[in-house]
Amino acid sequence: MTESTTANTGITVTETGGVTAIPGLLAGKVAVVTGGGQGLGLAMARSLVDSGAKVVVADITEERLQSAVAELGGEDIAAGVVCNVSDLAAVEKLAEEAAKAFGGVDIWVNNAGITRDATIRKMTEQQFDDVISVHLRGTWNGLKVATALMREQDRGGSIINVSSISGKVGNPGQSNYSAAKAGIVGMTKAVSKEVAFKNIRINAIQPGFINTAMTAAMPQHAIDSKLADIPLGRAGEPEEVASVVLFLASGLSSYLTGTVTEISGGRHI
């Protein structure tokens, strides 16, 4: 995580120059972030909270949720809901809990994900199905529930789907993950066309090589190889992904829908 400083304007910036929070930008808004108990999801939730939103984080682990809610500032501005996004009924319950806690949902981030890497020769059907279920079906469940809720609101809403640069280029050993992340792009474009007339905007992001616990555990030679392919010459930070989510969640992107934003430092352009 990069250190943050607060400029004279109150805008929070990182040492890389990224803007992670704009006070008051999301005042009065309520957001749901799936997979929000740690990593990228927690960074997204923090950016939304620091910009004025109340946030409901969903995760499959109660302990992560308790820690995340405390880190985000407590129960007045954050809530945690245990949710398996591959289960439609659980996602419906998540939306109900968000509405009960804070009175509705204006922003929904479909971020939850898992990996089950193996070459296609060794990958089992279960490994394939598990990844497709969480990423692709989980995003579909989130879209189905969030759009239904937002259609009933005069103010519409913003939905951000988390794809991956691997959904653009494909990663060896990730036929399941790459397929799911590519599918999220098509799903984003299709559903955005269905609900735009209700002022519901749906956009996708494709993070590249980001500093997380997962990437930190990679062998150094693998890290060096990936860094060599990045024109900006460094890995991204979770806060730099969160800043794009903040932009897409806010009125700053009011005329954007159906877009896919690569957050990759120029890798695979």
In sequence order, what are the residues at sequence separation of 6 or more whose Cβ sits closer than 8 angstroms to the Cβ of residue 143? 110, 159, 161, 187, 191, 202
Residue 143 burial class via C-beta count within 10 angstroms: exposed 0-12, middle 13-18, buried 19 and up: buried
Of the residues 128, 177, 209, 247, only one is catalytic, namely: 177
* Inter-residue contact 236 to 264 (CB < 8 Å): yes
Q: What is the DSSP-derived secondary structure letter of residue 103?
A: S
- Provide the 10 A C-beta neighbour count for residue 101: 17
Residue 177 among the catalytic residues: yes
Which of 161, 160, 181 lies closest to 169 in space, CA to CA? 181
Q: What is the DSSP-derived secondary structure letter of residue 213?
A: H
* Inter-residue contact 187 to 146 (CB < 8 Å): no
Looking at the chain, the number of H-run helices and the number of E-run strands are 10, 10
Q: Distance from first CA to last CA of the chain, Å, rounded?
A: 25
Q: Which residues are catalytic?
A: 177
